[in-house]
Amino acid sequence: MLEQHLALLLVVALATYAQTITGFAFGLIFMAGVVLFGIAPVTLGAILISVLSLFNCVVALYGKRATLDRRVVLISALSGMVTVFLGVWALESLSGDYVGWLEVILGGSIITSSLMLVYHPKPRRHRSPDWSFALFGGLSGFMGGMFSTSGPPMVFQLYRQPLAPAVIRDCLLMVFAINSLQRLTIVAFQGALDLQVLGVAMAAIPVVVFFTWLGRRYPPPLSARSLRRLAFILLLGSGVSLCISGLR
């Protein structure tokens, strides 16, 4: 048990440091790590990601209401509220006798997300219609409900918009926080959010804080483009490994 907890904290450290220096991929790297190395089941990993992501988002958003595009957040979050339930239901349905297919789906999601890293969408001249925010918000909610990795769809959508980087960042954080809070509420009503799970999450928070500081204070001597390539290789390798493991 102690070895598992230490291994889990090591994955938290790696995922936190990677997200600090690249700006994304905490949930994807964490989920891939715990599943590939058999540290924890997908259901537990998703709960831990929700707790840690909510903590991170609340800290990052403190005092930044002025940089939020409320229309974007409202439309995206409302559509996501419906699909988070579907994601949680899909995870529960597959986590019993269909764990192999669950790994294949997770691996495919990670591969798709890694490919998005190497595609740089050009900002549009005009904002996309509201229905597109509802669509990508729904996809984000589904991935958030299933794996607590709601980032890729909304990142892809918002970085195509004619919005300031600070607005994009804070809108993403707010949508992620809403998705995480909703998911935690659902699993709490299901009885899956027990004291043991919360204890593991609380133990991981100091690791998140320390490696966030470490990534900001001592980033690797690589360019932004090299960091994106490194994250792409890491995620792609994890996704392929998960697919192979699931198919076996």
> Could you read off the pLDDT of 125-179 as tens digits, one per residue?
888 999 999 999 999 999 888 888 887 788 888 888 888 877 887 888 888 889 9
**Rounded-to-integer distance, Cα 177 and Cα 58, Å:** 7
When pLDDT is cut at 50, 70 and 90, the band that residue 3 belongs to is confident
Residue 53, pLDDT score: 82
Domain ranges of the chain: 2-247
Look at 66 and 148; give whichever has higher pLDDT: 148
Do residues 21 and 36 lie in contact, with contact meaning Cβ atoms separated by under 8 Å?
no
Using alpha carbons, list the distances in angstroms from residue 2 to 6, 82, 89, 100, 167: 6, 38, 31, 27, 42
Residue 16, pLDDT score: 84
- Indicate whether this model's pTM tops 0.85: no
pLDDT of 101 over the 70 cut: yes
Q: What single letter denotes the amino acid at residue 15?
A: A
Do residues 143 and 150 lie in contact, with contact meaning Cβ atoms separated by under 8 Å?
yes
pLDDT of 116 over the 80 cut: no
Look at 103 and 85; give whichever has higher pLDDT: 85
Mean of per-residue pLDDT scores for the chain: 83
Do residues 154 and 136 lie in contact, with contact meaning Cβ atoms separated by under 8 Å?
yes
Residue 23, pLDDT score: 62
**Rounded-to-integer distance, Cα 180 and Cα 81, Å:** 10
